[in-house]
Structure formats: structure tokens, C-alpha cells
Amino acid sequence: MTHRLDDIEDKILAGQRLSGEDGARLFRQANPLQLSTWASLVRFRLHPERRVTYVVGRVINYTNVCWVQCKFCNFYRLPGQEGGYVLSQEVVFEKIRELVNLGGTEILIQGGLNPALKLEYYENLFRAIKGTFAVQIHGLSPVEIIYLAKISQLSERDCLARLQAAGLDSIPGAGAEILVEAVREQIAPYKNSAAAWLDLMRTAHRLGIGSSVTMMYGSVESVEQRVEHLLRVRELQDETGGFRAFIPWSFQPEGTHLGDVKRASGFDYLRTVAVSRLLLDNVPNLQSSWLTQGPKLGQIALQYGVNDMGSTILEENVVSKESVFMVPLAEIERLITDAGFVPARRNTTYEILPLPSAPVNHSAA
């Protein structure tokens, strides 16, 4: 059965905003060629040059102690449980030193909700990092900051302002999962609400702290709930303009409490990427999640609206140990070039950086 999507195509060609109903029809009815064509059209409107950016960064999971018990997470240890850790400043510094030696500029500091770590821990750590290294701190997801404010008996605004003063540059959009209460209740019942996640981002953006925003799809949500997530992001972006990038990634069921859920397919990823590009007309960058999808699918996504390859991850624990793809920096550049684009290095705030004059040892990245 052929579905007519002429009315949606007309809107895309005219640069008009799509509705939620349009988004659901695209998810259900558009074929790969349509999605690629339309998403690329919007991508090139926003980024006329054939550049695909990436940042040389490193994830530092400073603690795996967490009480939240998200059903999709196989990273955490409960407080007091064997195997829980908090990285010492010495270990954190060693990791940053390795990154800086590779020409890196971004550290993504993320961890569990560890009741033992109060605001002073983060302030001291961030100040020490900023006093020692020329890196940008892209750190602490909303759920961590909401909890930190609570246990530090501060408003979220005051907590964010103190983190910002200590050196926090940007907030990763993790923990958004699907910003629909019915979904969150099923997959992460103890986590903050969708409204609380959005409120925290609103406050951060108003303080001048930009962020990314993610969507973890492919667990228990419906197409309509994916669309609702996208619309809620778009609505807040209309208000604040603080989201720099959108990053959809698929739920990785292995080793989690939702192990029976079938892993989302490759085409589902491409469809989700393309519909995101089409609905989120106000979020400038769409990031590939090759970390979870693999480098080949991450590369194909460049034809579905993606304009950024994200970070050259040195390590990542929170997603799922089984699903981590380690790709050297030189390989990222090759994937971009091979897809017909020009690789460009950026920093956390998406400013293009000059390529290093001296050759960097890419093999370890």
C-alpha cells in the first residue's frame, strides 16, 4: 500500500514546521529514500557546507555508585555494594592528561547518583581541572544535578550557578530517555520526571549553560511517544535556544532488567534520526551515535540528516558494556571523508578548531 506524503513534502520544501501528526506519519509511512532526501535537505539548509564535525573528548565516569536502579542500566552499584567506586583526583587527572596529549578538548564527566558526594566535591574537582588543563567540562546530566541540589539543600539555580562558577561549561543531555511520564514510570520509576528534566535544562540555559539533549528510543515507547519527546524538546528550544545538539540512540537491552526487549533495528535508527532532523527545526546539530549503533551505521546516518559525529569516546560505561564501539580518531575522519563530507574538529560549543600542526598519535584514541 502506498501512502501519500505530498502534504508533508510540501511543508518541508517550503520550510514550514511539521506537526506531531506529520512526525508520526513519517515514522510509519515514509520510505528510506524519502527520509534521506528530506532530512538531508533540512541538514544542508542549516549547514550548507559539506562539513561533518567531531570533538576529541573523553568520558570520565567518576563514580558508579547509584541508588536509582534504572532498568536499562548495567553500570551502577548500589551504595555499599561490592564493586562501587569513586575515582580519585589523581586518576581523573591521569585520564585528562592522556586526552590532552591526544589533542583533546572535552571531558564528559558523568556518573551515578552517589549520596556520598556533595556539591563541594564537584566544585573542588572542577576548579582543580580548570586550573590544570585547557579543557571544556561537559558534565553532570540533569538527574545528577537535580539530586546534587537536593542533597546540598540548594535550589537548582543556585547549584547550577556554583557549578558554573567552578568551571562547568556545558551539560550533556543524558537521562532524557523518553520525556513522557508513562514511559519513564516503566523504565526508570525512581528517576526524575520529564518535567523536572526539562525544568533543570530551562534553568541551565537561562544561566547561559548550553546543553545537548538525547533520546533513548526502542525500549517500551510507542511512535507517538517518540514524537511527543521530540515536540517537548522543540518547545523548550523555542523558549531558551540552549540545546546545541540532539542525539538519538537506541536502547541496548543486553544485561539490563529489560533484556527481553528486542534491540531496535538499523533502519529504525535511520528513521529516528531523519524524523528528528525534520521535526527539530530549531536544534542546530544532529549527532550520530556510532557508540551504540556502530561506525558503519553512524556513517550512513550522515545521509539521514546527521552533521556531527560527536565525541571520539575513549571510554563509556553507562550505556552498556557490550555495546561500546571503540573507533580511532583517524577512522572517524576516514568514515566522514568516505561518505563525501569534510571532517572538521570542533570544541564543546561547536566552534571549529584548527587541525593540530603536529601529528597526533591517533591510534590510542
Query: Using CA atoms, how far apart are residues 240 and 36, in angstroms rounded to an integer?
Result: 29
> Cell 553500570 sits at which residue?
75
Q: CB 309 → ligand SF4: shortest distance, Å?
A: 23
Q: What is the CA radius of gyration of the chain?
A: 20
Among 73, 96, 148, 180, binds ligand SF4 (CB under 6 A): 73
Q: CB 103 → ligand SF4: shortest distance, Å?
A: 29
Please count the residues of the chain: 365
Does position 108 bind ligand SF4 by CB under 6 A?
A: no
Among 24, 41, 46, 68, binds ligand SF4 (CB under 6 A): 68
CB-nearer residue toward ligand SF4: 175 or 343: 175
Query: Using CA atoms, how far apart are residues 317 and 74, in angstroms rounded to an integer?
Result: 9
Does position 187 bind ligand SF4 by CB under 6 A?
A: no
Among 103, 112, 248, 295, binds ligand SF4 (CB under 6 A): 112
DSSP per-residue string spanning 134-167: --EEEE--HHHHHHHHHHTT--HHHHHHHHHHHT
Among 76, 197, 251, 304, binds ligand SF4 (CB under 6 A): 76
Which listed range, 23-31, 68-76, 98-106, 124-132, lies at the site for ligand SF4 (CB under 6 A)? 68-76
> Could you give the 3-state DSSP secondary structure of residue 62?
coil
CB-nearer residue toward ligand SF4: 70 or 309: 70
Does position 290 bind ligand SF4 by CB under 6 A?
A: no
CB-nearer residue toward ligand SF4: 203 or 214: 214
Query: Which stretches of the chain are assigned E, i.e. beta strand?
Result: 51-55, 57-61, 106-110, 136-139, 168-171, 210-217, 243-250, 285-286, 308-311, 342-346
Would you say 319 and 291 are in contact if contact means Cβ atoms under 8 Å apart? yes
Among 70, 187, 236, 280, binds ligand SF4 (CB under 6 A): 70
Where do contacts with ligand SF4 occur on this chain (CB under 6 A)?
A: 66, 68-70, 73, 75-76, 112-113, 143, 318
